[in-house]
């Protein structure tokens, strides 16, 4: 039986580059999907379940590193290749810290790109078959008298055992992954919900109220989920 084509999602706002990559990957037998901005890229990732994502850093709506972090909150095995004009070492370090699998700077050699894609797809298949994963946040996490089980989407807290929604688990993972570091509302919305910078919503604030109710002994005087005036929020917990 003929195997189904590997599906590759390209999130790139430069149409010339995107279509050039699409053509050459299609000639190699891959199914290729294009997205020209961050919001549509995240939507395509959710809808099409690709085997590989090729991701630009500088994108309209939501930047590539935020997309990468959003993907990693729910899928730690999907191969992601960053394609960027930025050659700054700090940019590469951030990408690696957020879970990128490979990094190729523009301008790039087409043959090298094709070889990297082939290698990442083979490694991705091997990881799925063998159940390996890169765990950025462990399956369980404890802080104070609280324990979160991300496998079962449950939490043990002052309210007893509670069920967490998938979105609550995702946002909690985001805070834990960035513990001790301020997160702006914009960044939380981009990574946690896939909203663009232009979105105005109280969603983040409502989730913080909920988390304080779950996990704080005194929700009015939080010690874990702290507000930072004119900045956003901070999950204050050391390992």
As for how many domains the chain has, the answer is 2
Q: In terms of DSSP bridges, do strands 52-56 and 7-11 run parallel, antiparallel, or are they unpaired?
A: parallel
Q: How far is it, in rounded angstroms, from Cα 60 to Cα 42?
A: 12
Residues 120 and 43 in one domain: yes
Residue 207 sits at φ, ψ, to 5 deg, of -70, -40
Distances (CA, A) of 13 to 5, 103, 132, 196: 24, 17, 32, 15
Q: What is the pLDDT of residues 115-135, one digit of tens each?
A: 999 999 987 665 454 444 434
Residues 118 and 144 in one domain: no
Q: Which domain holds residue 16?
A: 7-127
Residues 70 and 105 in one domain: yes
The radius of gyration of the chain from alpha carbons, rounded to an integer in Å, stands at 19
Q: How far is it, in rounded angstroms, from Cα 36 to Cα 17?
A: 11
Q: Which CATH number do you get for residue 33? A: 3.40.50.2300
DSSP, collapsed to helix, strand or coil, labels residue 83 as strand
Contact between residue 21 and residue 12 where contact means Cβ atoms under 8 Å apart: yes
Q: What is the pLDDT of residues 3-32, one digit of tens each?
A: 578 999 999 999 999 999 999 999 999 999
Residue 123: what pLDDT? 78
């Amino acid at each position: 039986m003929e195997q189904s084509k590997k599906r590759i999602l390209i999130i790139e706002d430069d149409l010339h580059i995107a279509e050039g990559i699409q053509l050459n990957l299609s000639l190699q037998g891959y199914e290729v999907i294009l997205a020209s901005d961050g919001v549509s890229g995240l939507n395509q990732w959710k809808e099409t379940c690709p085997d590989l994502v090729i991701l630009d850093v500088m994108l309209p709506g939501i930047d590539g590193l935020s997309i990468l972090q959003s993907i990693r909150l729910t899928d730690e095995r999907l191969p992601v290749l960053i394609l960027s004009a930025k050659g700054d070492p700090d940019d590469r370090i951030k990408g690696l810290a957020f879970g990128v699998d490979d990094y190729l700077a523009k301008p790039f050699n087409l043959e090298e790109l094709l070889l990297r894609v082939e290698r990442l797809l083979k490694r991705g298949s091997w990881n799925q078959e063998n159940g390996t994963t890169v765990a950025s946040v462990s399956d369980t996490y404890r802080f104070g008298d609280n324990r979160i089980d991300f496998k079962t989407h449950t939490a043990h807290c002052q309210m007893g055992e509670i069920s967490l929604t998938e979105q609550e688990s995702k946002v909690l993972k985001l805070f834990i992954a960035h513990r001790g570091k301020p997160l702006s509302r914009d960044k939380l919305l981009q990574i946690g919900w896939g909203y663009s910078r232009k979105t105005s919503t109280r969603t983040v604030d409502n989730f913080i109220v909920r988390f304080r109710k779950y996990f704080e002994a005194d929700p009015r005087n939080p010690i874990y989920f702290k507000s930072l005036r004119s900045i956003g929020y901070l999950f204050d917990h050391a390992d």
